[in-house]
Amino acid sequence: MNIKNLVRRGFYADSVALMRIARELQKLGVEASLLIGTPSNKALLRDSGLLTVDGEGARPDDLIIAVRGRKSAEALGLADKLLLFQVKSNESEIPKTLPNANLALISVPGEFAAREARRALERGMHAMVFSDNVPVADEIALKDLAASKGLLLMGPDCGTALIAGVPIAFANAVPRGGIGIVSASGTGLQEVSCLLARSGLGVSHGIGVGGRDLSQAVGGRMTLAAMDALEADPATNSIIVVSKPPAASVTRKIVARAKRSRKPVTLCLLGAQEQKGIVRTLEEAAGFKSEKNLKIKAKGTIAGLYCGGTLCAEAQIVLMDHGLKVSSNVPVPGATKKGAPHSLVDLGSDEFTRGHPHPMIEPELRNAPLRRALKDKGVGVILLDVVIGYGAHADPAGLLLTALKNKRDDLLVIASVTGTEDDPQVYSKQVRTLRAAGVIVAGSNAGAARLAAQAVTAGRGSGK
């Protein structure tokens, strides 16, 4: 095979834009990858057999365009044109100066993210670090620096925020209101804020703190700081804290802080030991009432294919609460590790996204495992999440139609849509598209999981 590398010196582009350009190149029938020349990215290209001598010489601030196939030369030419278009688009869209800005959004390779975040904090700016692969020691140091200056360090790996009504990164169009949200995950914040919006309630701020903040190592540093900030905020009347399973020591800190709060605090620490003030689901945290039970039956097991890790964890808890044995790559306390009849998969985890776009950006990543589940006669229910909003795919429900064309009549497909009417994709349009394809659409992610559990239990395929 003809393998070529082109190195653009001192060139940086957003990883999402690079992945989309790679997809355009692949339409020429070549294998393609565009990555910044960091050591980890070069190792990825090397393992894939896409790195040449030219690529090996790339520096961490260079861009490597790697292609393999008969049309590799044509693909490199197209990549140059698309990159030039991307640069011109960015120049026309980004304001030249932001004299009153007090928040910096950082989306650079993980090797450089800590340095840029420190620069922002030292200039008195809050920082949202979208980047991942930032060492834990750097995260702790940055959060301690932020705390010493009375600032917020959101992230690393912070994908969602709503600051003073402004959606940042993967977020939704929700109204302003008096509820403040602190979330260690993106889809957790999105689901809660959207359920609040559909109940006629609004959000003052949604502060993302990063997936590792509630780990034992980081100790909930920014979650606690965000709770302090929301308690002091006159626009916030109550607080919701959302997280995938936290470390037990951190749970105790968060519970103790909530008890001291002068404002009502709802804790949704998925999988944490039940105690006063901790609710089981995102749906309950938002006070959302899902639809009544449907009389549906299914014979077989449940296969869940999720774009959102927190949504996957919530579904697992709901199924377990119905007495079902479930395994998942996002385990919650008490879950079955292997061999459970029902399985849920977070397709946004690192094992699936290394070198590929996140499924919220490119939901086609789910189509291959979805087709396999559709062919598996042992599967009776397929559970799906559809996440819309800023940064998400333009029509994720539409992409599911092709994969669902050959659905068996005896197979149930149950889904939920995380989003609002004001999102670019429009919540009601996505729901109509799914229902037209024969999908049962629940009002919430927890509601979808509940329907799945009821269906297999009624069909005597519960696998208890």
- Per residue of the chain (464 residues), give pLDDT as tens: 689 999 999 887 777 678 778 888 988 989 899 988 888 889 888 988 899 999 999 998 899 999 999 999 999 999 988 888 765 554 444 444 456 779 999 988 788 899 999 999 999 999 999 988 899 999 999 999 999 999 999 999 898 999 998 999 899 999 999 999 999 989 999 999 999 999 999 999 999 999 899 999 999 999 999 999 999 999 999 999 999 878 889 999 999 999 999 999 999 999 876 666 799 999 999 999 876 678 899 999 999 999 999 999 999 999 999 999 999 988 787 777 677 899 999 988 877 766 666 788 778 889 889 999 999 999 999 999 999 999 888 899 998 988 898 888 899 999 999 999 999 999 999 999 999 999 999 999 999 999 999 999 998 744 45
**Residue 290: its pLDDT value, please?**
77
**Residue 275: its pLDDT value, please?**
65
235: Cβ contacts below 8 Å, ≥ 6 apart: 176, 178, 204, 205
Amino acid at 422: D
Give whole-number Cα distances, 343 to 37, 282, 340, 364, 372, in Å. 37, 20, 7, 20, 14
Taking residue 378's Cβ as centre, other Cβ atoms within 10 Å add up to 11
Give whole-number Cα distances, 325 to 101, 181, 433, in Å. 49, 31, 32
CB 304 within 8 A of CB 383: yes
Q: How far apart are CA 261 and CA 291, in angstroms?
A: 33
Q: How far apart are CA 403 and CA 409, in angstroms?
A: 15
Q: How far apart are CA 282 and CA 139, in angstroms?
A: 27
**Residue 1: its pLDDT value, please?**
66
**Residue 86: its pLDDT value, please?**
62
**Residue 205: its pLDDT value, please?**
97
**Residue 273: its pLDDT value, please?**
65
**Residue 92: its pLDDT value, please?**
43
Distance of CA 172 to the CA centre of its chain: 13
Distance of CA 194 to the CA centre of its chain: 15
